[in-house]
Amino acid sequence: MKETTGARESFGSKFGVIAATAGSAIGLGNIWRFPYVAGENGGGAFLLIYLGFILLIGIPVMLSEFVIGRAGQQNAFGSFRKLAPGKPWYLIGLMGVAAAFMILAFYTAVAGWTLEYIYQSLVNGFRGKSPAELELMFSDFQSGSFRPVLWFFVFMGLTAFIIMSGVKKGIEKSTKILMPLLLILLLIMAIRSVTLPGALEGIKFLFKPDFTKITTKSVLEALGQSFFSLSIGMGTLITYASYVPKDNNLGGTALSVATADTLIAILAGVAIFPAVFAFGIAPGSGAGLVYITLPNIFQQMAGGYFFSLLFFVLLGVAALTSTISVLEVIVAFFTEELGMKRKAATWTATALVSILGVMSALSWGALSGVQVFGQTIFGILDYASANILLPLGGFFIVLFVAWFFGRDNARAELGNNGSVRTGYLPFYIFIIRFIAPLCIAFIFLQGLGLIKV
Ligand code: TRP
């Protein structure tokens, strides 16, 4: 396989690779989306199914993206075209770029909420408020027409700024120190949360599976959440893997990233659900769940002012290392395929995303009456990207590696041409040939009600 050398940027060290990839994976998906979707789908049983999908399907899809990106040395579209010249596999890459637009739009809107909460932490805006007042405070903010849009633009601007200054500098550094710090802070919050009076209900909700609450739709949502959380199914990790040095052990990286990501999601659950029950909040409250729950915890903590400020700053950083990874998919495509300069590509992508982004940010305010398939614009972007586009992308990605790229090429890439052990290979190949595609297809068709078995 021909190698691109020289001009192409790459991540610096082994830890840099893990940091950047984990930075993409860890974000609002773990701390905002996981609790809210788990809450809507009954808790414990959903968690178990989600964990099963991470192991059985998520990690193999992640490995497949690594293989494609590092072998292809291009953006998501270009990597497919290079590895399969003249074949339509590059359409997966195009679908990924489309998904990137959708995800970035609603995700950045939620990231903007984090900025509002940094501001509120600073001015001590939560102080003395009851759980009901905190809930009102969030819904007032969310349904406004100015601040959600303002914060969207601030966050989008931050993302664009980092992307313009290049991959390596921007991403690695921030993740190395701040993600471990986020983990520690979450741990402290989890401890406070489980020691609240009435916390046990929340622990039961999260860890005691009740399968009567599971429908085919919740199984699809668990699959979608596992993909969303791992940043897989749309070429983010193909793009990142193209910057990964050839001596990196991809299997080890996938395992570390998936472990860290899952740990953070569970920890977020342990921080949120006991508090949800302790403060009498409905677990199925929807997209605002975390934002209405967390300030209550800080109120009950010594040093709450400090912790709340620190937490929302770290959450913002976690979100930023994720938005960067999504914008990079589009910008790498624009620069490598359309021949744009990095700066122009970033501006163009940012402007286009902003159209959908403003509509997302206004989904509880001025545009709350606009419905698409019975959901708000935000709702449909969130639902369709995670539960439709990512599973579809993942399906074709594993098929590509299993049946087109092939076992020998996959072994060469995963084993760095013989210098790294790949004892897991037969198992991995079996999963991507049969288990993963069949499971994804079945869950997808069932969940959308297209087949009934
Ligand atoms: N995984 C990130 C999170 O959990 C979000 C994200 C980044 C993402 N890149 C992605 C989701 C690609 C899906 C696809 O916050």
Q: What is the pLDDT of residue 18?
A: 87
Judged by DSSP in three states, 337 sits in helix
Residue 30 CA, closest ligand 1 atom number: 4
Highest average pLDDT, of 11-15, 318-322, 431-435, comes from 431-435
Mean pLDDT over 265-269 rounds to 97
Mean pLDDT, rounded, of the chain: 94
Mean pLDDT over 218-227 rounds to 98
Residue 43 has pLDDT above 70, yes or no: yes
Q: What is the pLDDT of residue 13?
A: 79
Q: What is the pLDDT of residue 3?
A: 37
pLDDT tens-digit readout, 281-312: 999 999 999 999 999 999 999 999 999 999 99
Q: What are phi and psi of 375, to 5 degrees?
A: -130, 165
Give percent above pLDDT 90 in the chain.
90
Indicate the pLDDT class of residue 85, thresholds 50, 70 and 90.
very high
Q: Give yes or no for residue 325 CB within 6 A of ligand 1.
A: yes
Ligand 1 mean position, distance from CA 29 (Å): 6
Ligand 1 mean position, distance from CA 323 (Å): 8
Q: CA-to-CA distance for 449 and 322, rounded, in angstroms? A: 31
Mean pLDDT over 61-90 rounds to 97
CA dihedral sign of residues 419, 421, 424, 426: positive
Residue 385 CA, closest ligand 1 atom number: 13
**CA 65 from chain center: how many Å?**
15
Residue 1 has pLDDT above 90, yes or no: no
Pocket perturbation via mutation, ligand 1, pick of 28, 95, 232, 326 by most ligand atoms within 8 A of CB: 326
Q: Give yes or no for residue 228 CB within 6 A of ligand 1.
A: yes
Q: Give yes or no for residue 141 CB within 6 A of ligand 1.
A: no
Ligand 1 mean position, distance from CA 280 (Å): 30
Residue 5 has pLDDT above 70, yes or no: no
Indicate the pLDDT class of residue 452, thresholds 50, 70 and 90.
confident
Select from 156, 169, 106, 170 the least CA-distant residue to 347: 156
Pocket perturbation via mutation, ligand 1, pick of 322, 382, 397 by most ligand atoms within 8 A of CB: 322
Ligand 1 mean position, distance from CA 238 (Å): 13
Q: Give yes or no for residue 29 CB within 6 A of ligand 1.
A: yes
Residue 169 has pLDDT above 70, yes or no: no
Pocket perturbation via mutation, ligand 1, pick of 66, 182, 325, 382 by most ligand atoms within 8 A of CB: 325
Residue 2 has pLDDT above 70, yes or no: no
Judged by DSSP in three states, 174 sits in helix
The single residue listed with the structure tokens 């935000």 is 378
Q: Give yes or no for residue 108 CB within 6 A of ligand 1.
A: no
Residue 175 has pLDDT above 80, yes or no: no
| Distance (Å) of CA 207 to CA 42, 260, 266, 267 | 11, 19, 10, 12
201 vs 171 pLDDT, higher one: 201
Q: CA-to-CA distance for 385 and 155, rounded, in angstroms? A: 20
Indicate the pLDDT class of residue 168, thresholds 50, 70 and 90.
low
Ligand 1 mean position, distance from CA 229 (Å): 6
Q: Give yes or no for residue 74 CB within 6 A of ligand 1.
A: no
Q: Write a three-state SS string for 21-79.
A: HHHHHCCHHHHHHHHHHHHHCCCHHHHHHHHHHHHHHHHHHHHHHHHHHHHHCCCHHHH
Residue having the nearest C-alpha atom to atom 9 of ligand 1 = 231
Q: Give yes or no for residue 234 CB within 6 A of ligand 1.
A: yes
Cβ-based neighbour number of residue 309 at 10 Å: 18
Contact indicator for 360, 106 with CB cutoff of 8 Å: yes
Q: What is the pLDDT of residue 4?
A: 41
Q: Give yes or no for residue 28 CB within 6 A of ligand 1.
A: yes
Q: What is the pLDDT of residue 58?
A: 98
2 vs 42 pLDDT, higher one: 42
Ligand 1 mean position, distance from CA 254 (Å): 15
Contact indicator for 291, 114 with CB cutoff of 8 Å: no
Residue 336 has pLDDT above 70, yes or no: yes
Q: Give yes or no for residue 386 CB within 6 A of ligand 1.
A: no
Residue having the nearest C-alpha atom to atom 10 of ligand 1 = 231
What lies within 8 Å, CB to CB, of 101 at 6+ separation is 330, 352, 353, 356
Residue 6 has pLDDT above 50, yes or no: no
Ligand 1 mean position, distance from CA 179 (Å): 15
Contact indicator for 67, 249 with CB cutoff of 8 Å: no
Residue having the nearest C-alpha atom to atom 4 of ligand 1 = 29
Ligand 1 mean position, distance from CA 287 (Å): 16
Residue 386 CA, closest ligand 1 atom number: 13
164 vs 435 pLDDT, higher one: 435
pLDDT tens-digit readout, 377-420: 999 999 999 999 999 999 999 999 999 999 999 999 999 999 99
Q: Give yes or no for residue 321 CB within 6 A of ligand 1.
A: no
Residue having the nearest C-alpha atom to atom 6 of ligand 1 = 231
Burial of 328 (0-12, 13-18, 19+ CB in 10 A): buried
Q: What is the pLDDT of residue 171?
A: 66
